[in-house]
């Protein structure tokens, strides 16, 4: 089944790494694309571990650098392994990704809110120890 049969038209140059322009599975080009993605993912992971464990980087900038490297790692995975592009046929993939990100943000925000309120409403330890006697 071709992309033209389903009414999907690719714009010139809007092909993700690993996707062939005609929609057929490729051989060597796919392998090279996956190997480039794997190399970039390994490189970003090694750089993250290096930054986290070294004293060569200014200490207050380490969380920011790790965040930037994590976003770059996600970008590598989205482009090289999940083949997410800006093409018309990827709108559903992008919407599913946005929904997943929304759910993760809601989970993290809810967890932080619950933990902060538990800490605020928790009985002091000395008072708790007196009640157990």
- C-alpha distance from residue 76 to each of 20, 33, 81, 97 (Å): 18, 11, 8, 15
State the Cα angle at 34 between 32 and 38, rounded to 5°: 115
Shared domain for 76 and 91, answered yes or no, is no
14: exposed, middle or buried (Cβ count in 10 Å: 0-12, 13-18, 19+): middle
Residue numbers of the domain that contains 106: 87-133
pLDDT tens-digit profile of 60-110?
Answer: 999 999 999 998 999 899 889 888 877 777 788 888 888 989 999 999 999
Same domain, 113 and 68: no
Do 26 and 77 fall within a single domain?
yes
Q: Answer yes or no: do 5 and 40 share one domain.
A: yes
Cα angle at 41 between 38 and 42, to 5 degrees? 85
| pTM for the whole structure | 0.60
Is the Cα dihedral 25, 27, 31, 32 positive or negative? Answer: negative
How many domains in the chain?
Answer: 2
């Amino acid at each position: 089944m071709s992309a033209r049969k389903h009414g999907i038209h690719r714009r010139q140059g809007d092909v993700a790494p690993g996707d062939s322009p005609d929609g057929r599975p490729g051989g060597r080009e796919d392998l090279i694309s996956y190997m480039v993605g794997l190399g970039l993912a390994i490189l970003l992971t090694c750089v993250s571990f290096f930054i986290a464990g070294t004293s060569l980087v200014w200490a207050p900038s380490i969380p920011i650098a790790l965040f930037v490297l994590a976003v770059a790692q996600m970008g590598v995975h989205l482009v090289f392994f999940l083949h997410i592009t800006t093409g018309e046929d990827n709108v559903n993939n992008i919407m599913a990704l946005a929904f997943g990100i929304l759910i993760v943000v809601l989970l993290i925000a809810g967890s932080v809110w619950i933990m902060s309120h538990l800490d605020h409403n928790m009985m002091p330890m000395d008072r708790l120890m007196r009640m157990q006697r």
